[in-house]
Amino acid sequence: MSEKLKNRVGIIRDDRFLEHRTGHVHPEHPNRLKAIYRMLDTDFSDGLLRIEAEPATLEQLELVHTPSYIEKVLKTADHTFSSLAPDTPTSAKTYEAAWLAVGACLKGLNALLSGQCDVCFSLIRPPGHHALPDRAGGFCIFNNLGITARYAMNEHGLRRILIIDWDTHHGNGLNDLFYEEKEVLYFSSHDIGLYPYGGDWEETGEKGGQGYTINLPAPRELEDQEFLHLYQEILGPVFRRYNPELVLIAAGFDSLHDDPVGRSRLTEMAFRGLTRLILELSAECERPPILFALEGGYDPSALSRSVKGVLEVLTETDHEGRFEGVETEQIRKLLEKARRIHSKFEVWTD
């Protein structure tokens, strides 16, 4: 990694995200960000470029969402507590946090494309990868990265956007939004036995987008090195063949072994390894700008450790050492299946 990249890592944080109050027992709680922000103050008091968040505009939200749904979100301000979906509660200031979450991703994108930084991490809530054009779900209100990708296409003319979704839940909102388009390649690894119970192998895109959606149902018993090997073997050819102009990462950390929702076996080392892999692959493609946006992760301590690990890799302060992926029999079979299904499209396979 170059010195230039090391010194140009942007971060977006804002206490207004804490005003989205979901109730004391809800997993998507303000304590998630409080833990991350405390970690930033302790471990990254300097060395990161602080970028100020700004709310999205109505026109930007309408790149993905319907006017009636946006109005529904705004009306939540009239109630101390309400809900947009059975699993997505709101409070009086939720609408402000949701508009700001989108705006933070757009502000990060503009900072990247202007050359202000090379990598940016938007530490936001509510998350977004489940949000559909006309409804909330899975704790998500607006599709933060979906809007960002559409904005990058419309305003900056980008035509090869890679979205990597490593949250343990399938990002159905992102999946559906770009399912018929080759301008966005969506790659998701997820536990198909968890909400929203979709993202099966054969969901590969339609019409002009055939082959540009890669869904990888990943067994929850995978260990760090197995998980990393899956990414090495799929993301490597994806980067080299697709040559992305922009990389968006739906950075969910709910596949950690101590997460109360994901219940998988991964540790924060998996995300250190994935981050290093993505940086190395991007270096082979003339370093496209990379935007991370926080999605899931519901154990505040584990979440903050994982975000710290990602930032240490990005800033070259990682002292854990490099580790390589390992191919087991289970991984070999998963890769064979993925390649067999996608071989007819020749998007990332020969």
- Give the per-residue pLDDT at 50: 97
Main-chain dihedrals φ then ψ at residue 134, nearest 5 degrees: -120, 10
- Digit-coded pLDDT (tens) for 266-309: 999 999 999 999 999 999 998 999 999 999 999 999 999 999 99
Rounded to an integer, what distance in angstroms lies between the CA atom of residue 204 and that of residue 186?
A: 9
Alpha helices in the chain (DSSP H): 3-6, 31-43, 58-61, 67-75, 94-113, 144-156, 172-177, 224-242, 268-283, 300-314, 329-342
For the chain, give every domain's residue range. Answer: 3-342
- Is the model's pLDDT at 217 over the cut of 90? yes
Q: Are 289 and 112 in contact (CB under 8 A)?
A: yes
251, pLDDT greater than 80? yes
Which of the residue ranges 3-17, 59-73, 82-96 would you say has the lowest mean pLDDT?
A: 3-17
Biggest CA–CA distance in the chain, Å, is 55
Please provide the size of the chain in residues. 350
What secondary structure does DSSP assign to 2-58, as a single string?
A: -HHHHT-EEEE--GGGGG----TT-SS-THHHHHHHHHHHHH-SSSSEE----PPPH
What is the architecture of the domain spanning 3-342? 3-Layer(aba) Sandwich (3.40)
Token pair listed for 116? 């202000």
Instruction: Indicate the pLDDT class of residue 7, thresholds 50, 70 and 90.
Output: low
Please give the Cα distance from 127 to 114 (Å, whole number).
Answer: 25
Mean pLDDT of 255-265: 93
Write down the pLDDT at residue 3. 42
Tell me: the pLDDT tens digits for 34-67? 999 999 999 998 889 999 999 999 999 999 999 9
Dist CA 53 CA 98 (whole Å): 12
170 flagged as catalytic: no
Mean pLDDT, residues 182-192 taken together:
98
Mean pLDDT value across residues 312-331: 91
Instruction: Find out whether 186 and 161 touch, Cβ atoms under 8 Å.
Output: no
pLDDT at 4 over 70: no
> What burial class does residue 174 get, using C-beta atoms within 10 Å of its C-beta: 0-12 exposed, 13-18 middle, 19+ buried?
buried
Task: Convert 101-133 to b/e letters by CB count within 10 Å (16 or more is b).
Answer: bbbbbbbbbbbbbeeebbbbbbbbbbbbbbbbe
Q: Which of 130, 169, 170, 229 is catalytic?
A: 130
